[in-house]
Amino acid sequence: MAPTKRKGGHASLQGKKPVNTTKVKRTKATQNPGRIRNKMKRSEMYGKYLLEKKALKRQTRIQRDKEAEALGEDAPKRSTPRTLDNTRESEATAVKPEDEEILADEAEDEFAPYFSDEIRPKILLTTRPCPSAELFHFISDLMRFFPQLYYYPRKSYSVKEICTFGSNRKFTHLMVLSEKSKVCNGMIISHLRPSTAANGLAGPTAFFKVSNVIPSTDVPNNGAATNHVPELNLHGFTTRLGHRAGRFLGSLFPHNAQFQGRQVATFHNQRDFIFVRHHRYVFEEGKVVDKENGKKKTKARLQELGPRFTMKMRWLQEGTFDTQFGEYEWFHKRKEMDTTRRKFHL
């Protein structure tokens, strides 16, 4: 005789949500479960703690929006969140907009001929001795990013000898890349052209720590860069040192932007980290129709071209590269200068 099938059974076998028949209270992770010694239980409770924290934050936001909608114009203004940027310590060398003294100094410094388009930059690029093959992918991206950039193999020459070589061949800048674990981690930039502002001497020279290098092929939805000279966007350089560093980086580009290329090179300083980006702005036909002429409105968007990397200045030196006898304009001493998280130098 065939066995009869039992009706009902466990709720989970019927596709129903099981009922807590034991009347045991489920523990809520109301506090950070770092006190739990068992690793598996601590991990489980921490996951619940994050989910509950996220749900509570969402409910608070929804409730706040409902109250603001009910009050209308009488709703209180939202408080500005405290960040490291808006609570930064005031710097004595902060530059005010349209400062006549600063404008007069910048009109006569080493980089004034580049910003007035009297001189076009010509950059010599080399690497550390025996570079890896991976570094050349970054070099090819830099050659598409900087106009008039030429690569020369390092071989066995010192940086001082390369400075002399570049100066004799009318190069205006020298760029030397270093690497660690086949990834670029440093960049030396030296100004080779003598100027009257520096008493007929070349310079300055700066060293930047490079991090978060993403080649153009790994940038999501990236486009292909063209040979047009990009527009230059220098943002967030607010101190005297920041202005000098920003103008130094700005002197690497010709200042006769070809607007038909619609390309923009950006150096954005935030908390002394300089974020380097390369974009193209694209105009597209939008979905919204203009009521006056009946045509669809044009909208603009940015398409990133790459590469993408971050720089942080470690020192600025007078003259060309000379670690033995060179004089430093500024040297980053972390323990002495970074006394608080809200103090920034650029």
DSSP string, 282-294: EEEEEEEEPTTT-
How far CA 55 is from CA of 34, 41, 62, 299, in Å, comes to: 20, 21, 11, 35
Average pLDDT, the chain: 86
**How far apart are alpha carbons 264 and 231 in whole angstroms?**
5
Q: Looking at 13-22, 31-40, 147-156, 307-316, which range is the least confident one?
A: 13-22
| Report field, pTM of the whole predicted structure over 0.85 | no
Overall average pLDDT of the 323-343 stretch: 85
Cα-to-chain-centroid distance, residue 171: 28
- Residue 16's pLDDT is 60
The C-alpha angle 325, 316, 194, rounded to 5 degrees, equals 75
- Give 174-197 pLDDT, tens digit per residue: 999 999 999 999 999 999 988 776
Tally Cβ neighbours within 10 Å of residue 58: 10
Q: Which amino acid is at 180?
A: K
Q: Residue 312 is inside which H or E element, if any?
A: strand 308-317
Identify the band that residue 96 occupies on the pLDDT scale cut at 50, 70 and 90.
confident
List alpha helices for the chain, DSSP H.
Answer: 39-71, 100-106, 112-115, 135-145, 159-168, 240-250, 334-337
Q: Give 251-272 as a 3 state SS string.
A: CCCCCCCCHHHCEEEEEEEECC
Cβ partners under 8 Å of residue 199, min gap 6: none
- Residue 265's pLDDT is 95
- Give 46-59 pLDDT, tens digit per residue: 888 889 999 999 99
Dig out the tokens for 46 from the structure: 């921490």
Question: For residues 253 and 229, is the Cβ–Cβ distance under 8 A?
Answer: yes
Tally Cβ neighbours within 10 Å of residue 2: 4
Question: For residues 78 and 215, is the Cβ–Cβ distance under 8 A?
Answer: no
- Give 130-170 pLDDT, tens digit per residue: 999 999 999 999 999 999 999 999 998 999 999 999 999 99
308, pLDDT greater than 80 = yes
Written as one string, the DSSP assignment of 151-183 is: E---TT--HHHHHHHHHHTT--EEEEEEEETTE
